[in-house]
Structure 1
Amino acid sequence: MFDKILIANRGEIALRVIRACREMGIQSVAVHSTADADAMHVRMADESVCIGPPAGTQSYLNMASIIAACEVTGAQAIHPGYGFLSENANFVQIIEDHGLTFIGPTAEHIRIMGDKITAKDTMIKLGVPCVPGSDGGVPDLATAKKLGEEMGYPVIIKATAGGGGKGMKVAETAEDMEKAFMTARAEGKANFGNDEVYIEKYLTTPRHIEIQVFGDGKGNAVHLGERDCSLQRRHQKVFEEAPGPCITPEERARIGKICADAMADINYIGAGTIEFLYENGEFYFIEMNTRLQVEHPVTESIFGVDLVREQIRVAEGLPMSFTQDDLEINGHSIEVRINAEKLPNFTPCPGKISQYHAPGGLGVRMDSALYDGYSIPPYYDSLIGKLIVHGRDRPEALARLARALGEIIIDGIDTSLPLFSALLAEDDILSGNYNIHWLEKWLEANMAEG
């Protein structure tokens, strides 16, 4: 059993891991930049270590400083949270080389799934349905144009090493291909140091459905249903729910078993999310995230499990505390991501919190590191909280979300909270009738950017 775990992250996800450690009787170590010296995760952890100046590259992405923090505190394992180094295979290898444990998948699995082409090839071999597309990288524009004609437009060009919507461009027609191809390559090079791209058929009205999987690294794996993450702005999720309002129990069982079997076949360990585009009853694999997702609380809500606790258990070599037969969906859950952003332009809005009040009551969970007087630094992602609600069914969850949005107080800065109150007035949201393009179109019509 681990005596002490270091959390290589900040904000609400660091607090989330600290809470799981505390319930398990494990000491926690927080790391922080100088800008985060007064952050809540630093206050809540049993120990804390400053690992560098404000810039993420010099602190939360500084592998040597994080390893050194483990050595000076005696931490035996590292939980990466999400973002930063959570999907960095080199970091995992360094951790293992120092005799420490990474609470997550192996470096090999992170490498496989971190490269979009290798991930797709692997999933095809494992029997996971994939979007029709190129066999590997596309070397030049001429090949791209030929593939576009063969697949039929529209198509999407994606950077092999891309993520977060960067390096993704749609070519609606043959005339669009040159600009889309060159832009995707340029963004891939600029953001990930890799200009290789591949091409896939572009689905016109899909939903974004992701399957939560979990493995013990010993050939056993389960799925914990799906999350619908279709409400996105610039490929960034803002509103997630589970179960998906459009997925039938039969579809869930079918795609869930495919995913769980695939993870069992490769001896996957820990939490992972297999993401699909879903259209006309068919699932098409797009990528796998080899880490805990931002939206994991909605899955925890409907299944009554602690995914972080399970991550720690299997990293210690213990079996999962549940089997597939133990996992039954209970009710409906919704999460909205609260960002420190000024609408309608979604401009980052760091600053000092003059008053903070978290909503409460039955079925309401607020994951945040905010407190009265806290100054949000300008150096990191603008996510400052996640509001999660749970109800016996979707209508009750929606009503609970509306009530909770009316209770929350975050003064001193602008936030994205007004967006969610506005969305709950829309019939398509109340009925669950939306796809991955819905929010962008709604924003264009109702909240035009200046």
Structure 2
Amino acid sequence: MNSILSGLSLETESLDAAFFKSDGTNDHLLLNLNKSASEPTYNFTIEISDVFGDRITLPSAEELSSIQLETISFIKNRTARQNFFFTKSGFITNLSSSEIAASEEIYIYEDFNEFSTLTCIFKKWNLDSPTPQKPSDEKFIDARKIVNDLAREQISANHLFWITNFKNEQNPPSEWLEFSTPKAALLLFSEISKSDTGLTYTLKGSRNIEFNSDSSKKLNATEHKTVHSALAWVFDTPRDVEIRHTLLCQRLSHNSPRNAEPWIKFISRTITSSCSAARDDYKNHLLIKTGELLKAVTDIRKTVSDETNKIVDKTNGLTSSLLRDASITFLITSLRQTLIAKNLISAQGSTLILIATATWLIISISLTGYQNKLFIKSQIRFRRNWSKGLSSLIPEGELNKIAKRPFREAVDNYRKIKNIINSIYATIILTIVSIIIFE
């Protein structure tokens, strides 16, 4: 296939297909195309058309020697996440497509410098080797939640596709940078709005700076790199991305645009010092946040300890109630037996004493259990209220470890003890009932 493509000249290329013309039609070329089309490893199918516009999908069992070849079409087996390009020029041309930003893998046949962005990798396309699509479970940041795009046409959900992180000394093609940097730099604004005169780009901070629509100005290699490096610092990690973006916008807003200075030039001129200051601001924010975190953890531990101790007290109260009621029952039963032995009470009277005792036991355990149930419900509501908002300070796993699990275990232990005590109460009541029935 490599030798075939070297003898073809590109007419045009889209995301879905590439169209070539042959420098010189011959039977040998058609034979090789027909043979290559049967290879299962290629990420495309081949279709030829003659001067009359008739199309034939290869491989074909037809006689091809009489065909006056006009166009060779390579129909790509692409997906939303995976795209292929035979030429670097075809790749650059299709950067304006609204679909390409959803790509997570792009393969290019012509020689180029492999690189990556925050959401996509760009690799050399080996035609003879299949390129299976790897399942992706990574969740990328939706830039529309960071930049308020009132125009609803400048920022897409996959906008991080345009940010190159320059890791491992990668050097993306200059044509890519000239196209991607102005699009990526839009993420440094706070708001984009639309009016009758065009688009307005707003930086919000200590003051608001507005820029109007302008044609893209060329940047040098250093300026491209500084813009992308600042954007990578903001968006490479999902956690605190809104804070880093706000801090950088604030620092950029401290600068004053020069007379008639385009916004891309303003950003490229001020981004280095602004990003350095924003990094320091973020470090200070983390120190403050760490102090808040330590205070929050201390408060959580104290609150959870108090809640747990209250549940333990309720558990101990159940045991105390059982001992009290069991003692009262024993005393009443002993007194009843003494009164019967001395003929001081009738059989009907002794029965009433046992019924009253059983009734007391039922009322006692029911009231105690109901009271504790209401108390635990109120504690659960209280814990839910003070735990709101802590997810911004403490990861969910840590919050569960120090707050939710200890309280849940205390409640579970209470319920286990209550079940045992209920069983003991039921046994005592059944014993009294048995005495009433069989005596």
TM-score interval w.r.t. the shorter chain?
under 0.3
Q: Which structure: greater strand fraction? A: 1
Larger of the two Rg values belongs to structure: 2
**TM norm structure 1:** 0.18
Structure with higher RCO (Cα < 8 A, 6+ apart): 1
Q: Which structure: greater helix fraction? A: 2
